[in-house]
Amino acid sequence: MNVFSLAVRNLLRNRRRSLTTLVAVALGTAAILLFGGYRAAINYAMQTVYVRSGGHLQIQHRDFFLFGSGNPTGYAIEHYQAIIDAIRKDPTLREMVLVVTPTLQLGGIAGNYAAGVSRTVVGLGLVASDHVAMRKWDPYDVGFAAPELELDGAASNAAVIGIGLARVLQLCAPLGIEDCPKPARHGDEPSGNGVALPDDVAALAAAAGPAPKEEPRNIELLSGNARGTPNVATLRIVAAEQQGFKELDEIYMLLHLTQAQRLVYGSSAPKVTAILVQLRDTARTAEVHEHIETRLAEWSAGQPLVVRDFGELNPFYVQSVQLFDTIFGFMFLLIGGIVMFTVSNTMNASVVERTIEVGTLRAIGLRQLGIRRMFIAEGSVIGAAGALLGVACALAGSAIVNRMELTWTPPGAAGPVPLNLVVWGETLMIIGTALCLVAVTIASAWWPAYRAARLNVVEALRHV
């Protein structure tokens, strides 16, 4: 303790220089923590979006992830309800699992007769009430609510589509979508911006019952059934949701699971392409993943099924997190370098000014280790004080930014989201950043301390 009290007294001998160095360390700490809070907020926001829509884990056929987009029903799960019931009743999983629900992915062609347009789509049959519960998942308090699922409580032939698909099918006016441009008309051509339905598709739709003119929200969905023959259903579009990515927005369609199963399997035994598992806590994902995998062969009656987590299913999320981690690391190195040179310059100046003092201490018997300890203690005091001040500034700055209620639109988001800086509660980041910068200041003080300890006693005493 005597070493550190002496270090404080020595630093106060040149208050201006010591204060400047301390402020540099504090600003570096605050800058790193504020960017770390921004990175954490993006991570939590993206994780929330993906978990709300697809759960933490998905049980799939082992080949569905790689080949299922070409033929989803070719990699379907049989007797899926038995697997769902087993997960819900499992004593180990009961307290960790929030929602378990099946989904059926299918491909098809959606057509709007009135406008004479059609578009290939990717449909997802789901249990609406389960997804309403999934959209409420918000353990990180990200500050934005998922849109209400209009499919819940709607008729059996109801569907929800992306705003881009509504624009292509010219359903903006019936759905009341604002800021939705209409295509220019040329002579007597249809007002659609796509091609008219093919004759064979139109014949199938007509056989199933064409949409009445008084129902402008009705469309026809053509899809191949499990045997490869085409099937058609008339759907009523109840709402449109923005998906963020234009490519997804123009093919996105949600419909009731029972409707999707009738379209694909008819009177045959219904199947699904995935079972979604949403947990209460993301930290338990690996534990639940391992437990389900060990029991899956027993529950699935020998089907070749695997469990995939949301990171594996959403490479964009993983790549985004890795990108911000890389930027955070680069920023830490850059600021750490600036802090190192600042502290090193301060300590070098202190050594030069106190050369005679060092010589005197050496002359009265203080060893080289004592000289090194003295200057390193000064560097550690500056680092610790600067890190603590920086942590306080980062906490205050993040609180101010969060109270300003700023918004921004990140890549892939459907609309503006709150701009939050998550610093409070990120204990590991705060402690790690502070300790690393203290270590940087100690390392910066080591070389000047080494030089001071190596000074020739006679030359030091004669220094002017």
Q: How do the domains of the chain map onto residue ranges?
A: 2-47+318-461, 63-303
Q: Please report, to the nearest 10 degrees, the dihedral formed by the alpha carbons of residues 332, 334, 338, 339 taken in order.
A: 10
pLDDT tier, 139 (very low <50, low <70, confident <90, very high otherwise): very high
Burial of 181 (0-12, 13-18, 19+ CB in 10 A): exposed
Task: Tell whether the model's pLDDT for residue 211 goes beyond 70.
Answer: no
Task: Tell whether the model's pLDDT for residue 186 goes beyond 60.
Answer: no
Weakest-pLDDT range from 2-11, 123-132, 168-177: 2-11
d(CA 277, CA 293): 13
Question: 217 CB contacts (<8 Å, ≥6 apart)?
Answer: 171, 174, 175, 236, 237, 238
d(CA 463, CA 456): 10
Two structure tokens written together for 226: 């499990």
Two structure tokens written together for 128: 């609406």
pTM of the predicted model, to two decimals? 0.82
d(CA 205, CA 115): 15
What are 252-295's pLDDT values in tens digits? 999 999 999 998 888 788 999 999 999 999 999 999 999 999 99
Least Cα distance to 448 among 371, 301, 344 occurs for 344
Decide: 8 and 371 in contact? Cβ < 8 Å.
no
Span 73-102, mean pLDDT? 93
d(CA 217, CA 169): 10
Task: Tell whether the model's pLDDT for residue 238 goes beyond 90.
Answer: yes
Task: Indicate the average pLDDT of the chain.
Answer: 85
Decide: 84 and 277 in contact? Cβ < 8 Å.
no
390-418 as b/e: b if 16+ CB within 10 A = bbebbbebbeebbeeeeeeeeeebbeebe
**Pairing between strand 305-309 and 230-241?**
unpaired
DSSP label at residue 236: E
pLDDT tier, 18 (very low <50, low <70, confident <90, very high otherwise): confident
Q: Which residue has the higher pLDDT, 260 or 415?
A: 260
Decide: 394 and 426 in contact? Cβ < 8 Å.
no
- What pLDDT is stored for residue 193 in this prediction? 45
Q: Count the residues in the chain.
A: 464
Task: Name the one residue in this structure whose structure tokens are 């109840």.
Answer: 238
